[in-house]
Structure 1
């Protein structure tokens, strides 16, 4: 049976007489198997420019040739180090990075304290092969090697030094992390934003993949907002950082469709563009913070990368295969949902939700968990609110907004219908969202309406007032626009104020919207900002504990603040 007649599918390097009987997924499997049976070193590929390379359309691929030249001239090293908590932040930390060339011998992590290394941890090398079909019928390929080590059995509230050590004895600079304390008594902080991306051209040299295309009237920003955000987080040294989806934009289309790249962020209709080397740039960008502070990720629509597991629109799996090679996240969520997890730090419970599973606006992955995510979410919230849990505040973070306004995405009706009733039922304190490239904070909400007004500087009591929803899609990507007649609303704003009541919409399909009469849009800022959340533990049972959310721009100016207050359990 002919499945992909010649001329009607991208030429991805499979011989034409075979390709016409294969689906795109089967062609991808064939290429992976072919490369596995016919390994080619970068050095030999650079010399020959033929054979396997030519057979796969790689002879002129700039990614491959650039990698060949780099590998031939430089020793292997580890770059782009980043941390993530294990299942228990008091006892486990994952350390990751990327090799600049194929591994040469055994790699380990040296772990110790106070400048002395007394333990050696094995390193797992995950090889990620990316064969990216191009609009001209060729393939641009990338070999990436990601290194991972997991330290278990650590002591709570302790500082640990670590370094990667290669087979030739060379090491990375020493970095230090700290595990979560068993019972914090001193104030501590975490930070959050979403929709970050990169400011610079990735190693592939391809144009259009950066976020350096800002609006001419973006006069309140720094020249490189994404980089400035990392500088701010690195200077803050929070206990951890949350990123609510749309991490680096290696997939600039964000639809989870079959890949067919043009070498820019634009792709042919029905396809997504993709550049795996943007991840290398991204990890290099965040390393000065992420090497010492755990960065905890949720997944957004731009994190569905169809290249690795054929995440075809209206039909296949997550598109998260590449993340399995690059990232380490806690593995205590539903088995079908690799980016869904929970953790506890002090008296704060944190939950990562995959809104791609719930979205109506971008339905590529909608329903992929078959309800297992929401069933897990209910069980997790039940546990966090159980007597004796030690958790006072519950924070959820996810990508598509349950409550937000903008001219681009606004609120997603599927996400709202899924999570808002649960958040009401279990008195979730704070929901951090992305997707809309802006900062926006709601009044506390129950049953989709404001319960009280919470202007800048207010104190909210979530147990009676409801959940505060904050959109922090202001992490670096070019900003969106507000709804017609809607304006900024933040501390120091001298312009007109359109108030908390806004005529917005809910997305109920790919191109379908229904009006949404909003009475909860308390604070708004249409440029680049992140949030710092300062937690003050309770002096004892039944005493007051607070969580203060401060919003800070990429230039370092605080523009909004609200305090959430509870009696400790």
Structure 2
């Protein structure tokens, strides 16, 4: 696999310094008053999520108040007919009564103080199967009788391996999810309106057990979420210190995650990892989602590593992409005047699997900085990719942020990781970005843009064969 630099930016590792007042500004952003819409008999918070095989199926989740008992989804193949809706098929969703002030899962029963004054709601989920690949469908969902949303349109994934596929990738939204994040989301969609899906690499919100923040995120652009499949990654802020009935606190994934989203299951993994570890398959691209938070439990990280190893061994896709929240190689320089952050348990569990199978891209978040680096093949292990310097690589590691909350880079960059053979090739701070990635022919083209639409970074990966060894390149 060959990496070709396509950015017009200089290879010089230039840093932008975060102003001293940045932290106080971020605090004001995160605590600013924002609106909250209570549930009603009309559907809201509609979001489409992928199945393992998005060419023939997709899932939809939405919310109502508790008066809604038998919600429906209508779907019909898109056509030019004015009254396409006459031929729509009606399906009944499953409904789950959801307490916002309390949650229950395999780890126990929790109270959520931030939601103490909020009433119970109903969440509705449905997976539509047996669809035609590469086809537009119109759908809408209901609340109470005759309380229908407007029609939405979504396209199933292509099936032919030669089909072009374009998608979006975002780092943490987390802070400013009402004030700042929607602008970046919309800017990305404007630039890539044909995106098949979007990857959100964790920390969608700042407090995973705070329904007010989920309201902000899910309403940041309801049409985008209901028309472009969301590949969701659980970050550490989707977890919380949750209060049990005996006042003991436990670190656990907020139960609002599985209430709000319908994501593929991984039956061989423990209950704590369900709907946070999964695979979704597009033409010649397999996307693997991992849970790098995993309750801080090394055994759960190892279980995922074994799962991923097995899935990659059986993957026939030319391109294999992993998304998880915590970076394998950290760039975060917080706390200030320290060596910065590091995730040795995540690296120990996952990096050997990535290199064993030459995972092409690892898409990450968490650091609130921008970084890109790669591990070369035996021939190019010491080379740094540049504008006129293609490099044969095994894996490329990316970390981005979409939030106004940014951190400085660690002072020693990636020097402590040099024995892994990884080379840091682009760094930046104080710069929220969005990413557009496109597979076409034998190339995977990556571009990162700032919120004003300017190209920030980019490269092209070339590969002519679905070969698991890193040594056969054009």
TM bin, normalised by shorter chain, reads 0.7 to 0.9
Tell me, in whole angstroms, the C-alpha distance in 2 between the residues paired with 1:333 and 1:344. 17
CA contact (8 A) 2:385 2:425 kept: yes
User: How much has 1:415 moved relative to structure 2?
Assistant: 1.2
- Alpha-carbon distance change, 457 to 377 in structure 1, aligned in 2, over 3 angstroms: farther
Tell me, in whole angstroms, the C-alpha distance in 2 between the residues paired with 1:348 and 1:437. 27
Cross-structure match for 1:243 = 200
User: How much has 1:281 moved relative to structure 2?
Assistant: 1.9
User: How much has 1:275 moved relative to structure 2?
Assistant: 2.1
The equivalent position to 1:471 in structure 2, one of 384, 390, 399, is: 399
Tell me, in whole angstroms, the C-alpha distance in 1 between the residues paired with 2:41 and 2:245. 32
Cross-structure match for 1:441 = 372
User: How much has 1:450 moved relative to structure 2?
Assistant: 4.9
- Alpha-carbon distance change, 152 to 346 in structure 1, aligned in 2, over 3 angstroms: same
Within a 5 Å distance, the mapping from 1:188-267 to structure 2 comes to 188-197=165-174, 199=176, 224-235=179-190, 236-237=192-193, 238-251=195-208
CA contact (8 A) 2:330 2:414 kept: no
Tell me, in whole angstroms, the C-alpha distance in 1 between the residues paired with 2:464 and 2:433. 30
Superposition TM-score, scaled by structure 2 size: 0.77
Cross-structure match for 2:237 = 302
User: How much has 1:311 moved relative to structure 2?
Assistant: 13
User: How much has 1:519 moved relative to structure 2?
Assistant: 6.2
Within a 5 Å distance, the mapping from 1:165-180 to structure 2 comes to 165-180=142-157
- In the alignment, is residue 181 of structure 1 matched against residue 107 of structure 2? no
Tell me, in whole angstroms, the C-alpha distance in 2 between the residues paired with 1:312 and 1:233. 43
The equivalent position to 1:407 in structure 2, one of 327, 333, 336, is: 333
The equivalent position to 1:118 in structure 2, one of 88, 104, 125, is: 88
CA contact (8 A) 2:167 2:436 kept: yes
SS of residue paired to 1:324: helix
SS of residue paired to 1:281: helix
CA contact (8 A) 2:448 2:455 kept: yes
Cross-structure match for 1:213 = none
- Alpha-carbon distance change, 232 to 566 in structure 1, aligned in 2, over 3 angstroms: same
- Alpha-carbon distance change, 503 to 118 in structure 1, aligned in 2, over 3 angstroms: closer
SS of residue paired to 1:467: strand
Tell me, in whole angstroms, the C-alpha distance in 2 between the residues paired with 1:113 and 1:82. 19
- In the alignment, is residue 346 of structure 1 matched against residue 283 of structure 2? yes
Deviations 1:198-227 (A, max 9, x none): 5366xxxxxxxxxxxxxxxxxxxxxx4311
- Alpha-carbon distance change, 113 to 458 in structure 1, aligned in 2, over 3 angstroms: farther
Cross-structure match for 2:29 = none
Cross-structure match for 2:450 = 553
Tell me, in whole angstroms, the C-alpha distance in 2 between the residues paired with 1:134 and 1:321. 10
User: How much has 1:128 moved relative to structure 2?
Assistant: 2.0
Mark the structure with the bigger radius of gyration: 1
Tell me, in whole angstroms, the C-alpha distance in 2 between the residues paired with 1:196 and 1:177. 24
Tell me, in whole angstroms, the C-alpha distance in 2 between the residues paired with 1:294 and 1:321. 21
Cross-structure match for 2:409 = 482
CA contact (8 A) 1:192 1:241 kept: yes
In structure 2, the gaps of 5 or more residues are 1-35, 79-83, 103-110, 335-339, 467-474
CA contact (8 A) 1:187 1:535 kept: yes
Cross-structure match for 1:421 = 352
- Alpha-carbon distance change, 312 to 458 in structure 1, aligned in 2, over 3 angstroms: farther
CA contact (8 A) 2:46 2:226 kept: yes
- In the alignment, is residue 396 of structure 1 matched against residue 333 of structure 2? no
Deviations 1:275-318 (A, max 9, x none): 222112211114231111001111111111344889999x9674
The equivalent position to 1:108 in structure 2, one of 66, 72, 77, is: 72
Deviations 1:469-506 (A, max 9, x none): 0002x11140001223x7xxxxxxxxxxxxxxx36668
CA contact (8 A) 1:333 1:341 kept: no
Q: Which has the higher contact order (CA 8 A, sep 6+)?
A: 2
Cross-structure match for 2:54 = 89
In structure 1, the gaps of 5 or more residues are 1-65, 202-223, 252-273, 358-363, 487-501, 507-514, 538-544
User: How much has 1:529 moved relative to structure 2?
Assistant: 0.4
Deviations 1:145-182 (A, max 9, x none): 22211101111111111000233212111111111111
Deviations 1:429-477 (A, max 9, x none): 1101111001111133579x9543212586554xxx21100002x1114
- Alpha-carbon distance change, 554 to 277 in structure 1, aligned in 2, over 3 angstroms: same
User: How much has 1:229 moved relative to structure 2?
Assistant: 1.8
- Alpha-carbon distance change, 312 to 565 in structure 1, aligned in 2, over 3 angstroms: farther
- Alpha-carbon distance change, 450 to 410 in structure 1, aligned in 2, over 3 angstroms: farther
Tell me, in whole angstroms, the C-alpha distance in 1 between the residues paired with 2:50 and 2:245. 29
CA contact (8 A) 1:546 1:563 kept: yes
- In the alignment, is residue 130 of structure 1 matched against residue 100 of structure 2? yes
SS of residue paired to 2:167: strand
Tell me, in whole angstroms, the C-alpha distance in 1 between the residues paired with 2:96 and 2:415. 45
- Alpha-carbon distance change, 451 to 84 in structure 1, aligned in 2, over 3 angstroms: farther
Aligned residue-pair number: 405
